[in-house]
Chains A and B, each alone.
Chain A
Amino acid sequence: MPASFTAHTLRRLAASASFVLLALPFAATTAHATDLVVSAAASLTNAFKDLGAAFEQQNPGVKVINNFGASDILMQQIVRGAPADVFASADQTAMDKAVAEKAVQASTRKNFAANQIVLIVPSDSTLPLATLKDLTLPAVKKVALGNPASVPFGRYTKTALENAGLWDAVLAKGVMAQNVRQSLDYVARGEVEAGFVFATDAAVMPAKVKVAIRIPSDAPATYPIAITANTAQAELAAKYLAYVQSAAGQAVLARYGFLKP
């Protein structure tokens, strides 16, 4: 029986393992003095990639490292001590929690952009959706919306639907997305008849989705930004915040459909 070759197998495995060990040292990668980690809401993905690149150009040697995700997850990470320097949230609730946990410097908090919730449909859709009430039509089987418990666009959507008295009816058809880009993706792939996203997200895929309804909102969707409490880059972070609010930074945001706060 193969005692010799199983031993051989083990030796080979051990050899491969040590190769991995040698090739990939487990050294702690110390952050460069000029790295700026920006945790930003998923809906900011395209705009903040551009903003980061422009900021790097203006500040040679600086590297902006974007961490995109759902605002509430980013907030959790920062509250638990993740080494982010800047937090840009898609709504006030996530930022409020971060402030309450003393995870960000409240004095640096500023609204830097605004957005609007829209109802989108696949670009080849022929559904006659003119008002939110049309979502109750039998032809609309599934509607993508954000989970109000965990994502800002879900909270905005819930408020709008509650004001229209339609929340329960739409929720029954609801497909919960964990972030706004997931909702956009479901609509773009035609997996749902309609979905709620930010106006800026709809603009990312103009060939695949079209806006059916713009939701008039009493409380505009404003985006706050702040420097984290345990940043080691307070000065650079402040510079970045100033850049985001500068004319140049606002122009980049406007290019992606964001409104002034």
Chain B
Amino acid sequence: MGAVWTPLLLSLKVAGWATVLNLFFGVAAAYGLSRWRSPLRDLIDSILTLPLVLPPTVLGYYLLVLLGKRGTFGAWLSGMGIELVFTWQGAVIASTIVAFPLVLKSARAAFENVDKQLENAARALGVSEAGVFFRVSLPLAARGIAAGVLLAFARALGEFGATLMIAGNLPGRTQTLSVAIYEAVQAGDDSTATLLVVITSVTCVAVLLIAGRLMPGHTRRADLS
């Protein structure tokens, strides 16, 4: 069963980390973009959305060139003892970047829908900018952010192209569910492939069900009173 559980746990680990990172960076970038008044805003937004439209293999190639030991950035990282190619941390970076625009887009829309009057009212009452963010804007935008974050988790769980490029296909180390399925098909091992596909599908349905319970308005009605 190790052939099944190892890639499953690795996929959850990679997608989990990608989601946590995106919760930080995606929300921060979205808040920045929604509040920033500059003609450059749309350009930056487009550049940050690129991972959604670029083929994942292209992205993976960029990452390989950039983060490989012989790449500029990779050489610097390597000097500090950090290696990303052929590691699960490399897979996290690939998944994070691929899923990033999903959080960015949802969170930016959510922040832009927050009633400015409520934020201004808080400011008028002497609440600091950080306080406005954490006590007014973020709670009001939470629903949209949550939706984006869950989408990002699902996307990260299925990541294949960029992951295969930078993290490779190392069983037990970087072989995620998607990559394991690909290798099983390549090896003509249809039974393993089918088993892995069923496990992936069951996992995704379970994640979506749990996600549904986390979403507002589902089970917490009792709290509303």
Contact = CB atoms under 8 A, between A and B. Distances in A.
Contacts of B138: 10
- Is the contact region of chain A dominated by helix, strand, or loop, or is it mixed? helix
A69 B142 contact: no
Given A65-B171, A81-B85, A6 B142 contact: yes
Contact of B88 (A9, A29, A42): A29
B19, B92, B142, B149: which has the most chain A beta carbons within 10 Å? B142
Interface residues of A, number: 48
Interface string B23-66: 10000000000000000000000000000000000000100110
A181 interface: yes
A26 B17 contact: yes
Given A6-B139, A7-B142, A77-B86, A17 B23 contact: yes
A69 B68 contact: no
Given A6-B142, A67-B86, A24 B16 contact: yes
A4 to B, nearest CB: 7
Nearest to B145: A10
Contacts of B139: 3, 6-7, 10
B223 A82 contact: no
Contacts of A12: 214
Interface in A185-243: 185, 188, 204-205, 230
Interface string B67-80: 01111001000100
A2 B17 contact: no
B173 A65 contact: yes
B224 A80 contact: no
A80 B69 contact: yes
Contacts of B188: 46, 181, 184-185, 188, 204-205
A6 B82 contact: no
B61, B168, B185: which has the most chain A beta carbons within 10 Å? B168
Given A20-B20, A68-B169, A9 B85 contact: no
A8 B223 contact: yes
Interface in A75-92: 76-77, 79-84
B20 A76 contact: no
A68 B164 CA distance: 10
A57 interface: no
Contacts of B185: 181, 185
A16 B23 CA distance: 12
B85 A69 contact: no
A250 interface: no
A182 interface: yes
B78 A20 contact: no
9 contacts: A5-B216, A8-B220, A16-B214, A24-B13, A67-B168, A77-B165, A77-B168, A184-B188, A204-B188
Top-4 shortest CB links A-B: A81-B69, A80-B68, A181-B186, A20-B16
